[in-house]
Amino acid sequence: MIRYALVCEHAHEFEGWFGASGDFDDQQGRGLVECPVCASKAVRKQIMAPAVSGTKKKGSDAPAPAHEMMMEAMGRIRRHVEENFDDVGDTFAREARAIHEGRSEDRGIYGQATSAEVRDLVEDGVPIAPMPPEPPKKTELN
């Protein structure tokens, strides 16, 4: 896996994980890479220092790799949201705006929105964040 530091045209910084060095360019060319904050597809790699592995061997009690820890933390966040927030489905954009404008009860919600709806919410100052993805099932891993 290769981790790239990415930035969109609106200066939102985030990371992307790719299977090989050419995968970013391939996915970018097919319009599959977008900012998780504003859904912009104008994303580029940032300059970053490479991670170089040392020669020291890790023992069996070494901490889990950063990727595994990140996936576990994202899974916990997702479960918390699903257990404690209201799923408003595809009315997310409308309900988030209503809450922001005081026309609906102030509460935690989650659901789906189109890229255009996300962009409009962000531009209008409605506080939203992308839902962490579902962790891959063990049977789907290499």
Q: pLDDT at position 134, please?
A: 78
For residue 57, being part of any structural domain is answered with no
For residue 77, being part of any structural domain is answered with yes
Domain that holds residue 34: 2-45
CA 21 to each of CA 26, 41, 85, 101: distance values in angstroms, whole numbers, following the listed order: 10, 19, 38, 44
Tens-place pLDDT, residues 32-69: 899 888 889 999 998 776 666 665 555 555 556 787 88
For residue 54, being part of any structural domain is answered with no
Eight-class DSSP state of 101: T
CA 16 to each of CA 1, 12, 49: distance values in angstroms, whole numbers, following the listed order: 10, 13, 15
For residue 140, being part of any structural domain is answered with no
Q: Using CA of residue 80, residue 83, residue 89, residue 95, what is the dihedral sign?
A: negative
User: CA 12, CA 46: separation in Å to the nearest integer?
Assistant: 11
Q: What percent of the chain has pLDDT over 70?
A: 83
Please check whether residues 35 and 84 belong to one and the same domain.
no
pLDDT of residue 101 exceeding 90: yes
Provide DSSP, 2-66: EEEEEEETT--EEEEEESSTTHHHHHHHTT----TTT--S-EEEPP-PPP---SPPP-TTPPPPH
Q: How many domains does the chain have?
A: 2
Please check whether residues 71 and 19 belong to one and the same domain.
no
Please check whether residues 41 and 76 belong to one and the same domain.
no
Please check whether residues 72 and 102 belong to one and the same domain.
yes
Confidence label for 21 from pLDDT (cuts 50, 70 and 90): confident
pTM of the predicted structure, to 2 decimals: 0.52
Please provide the average confidence, as pLDDT, over all residues in the chain: 84
User: CA 79, CA 109: separation in Å to the nearest integer?
Assistant: 13
Please check whether residues 84 and 27 belong to one and the same domain.
no
Please check whether residues 128 and 71 belong to one and the same domain.
yes
Please check whether residues 26 and 80 belong to one and the same domain.
no
Q: pLDDT at position 65, please?
A: 79
Confidence label for 138 from pLDDT (cuts 50, 70 and 90): low
Tens-place pLDDT, residues 106-135: 999 999 999 899 999 999 999 999 888 877
Please check whether residues 78 and 30 belong to one and the same domain.
no
Please give the average per-residue pLDDT across 93-106, as a whole number: 95
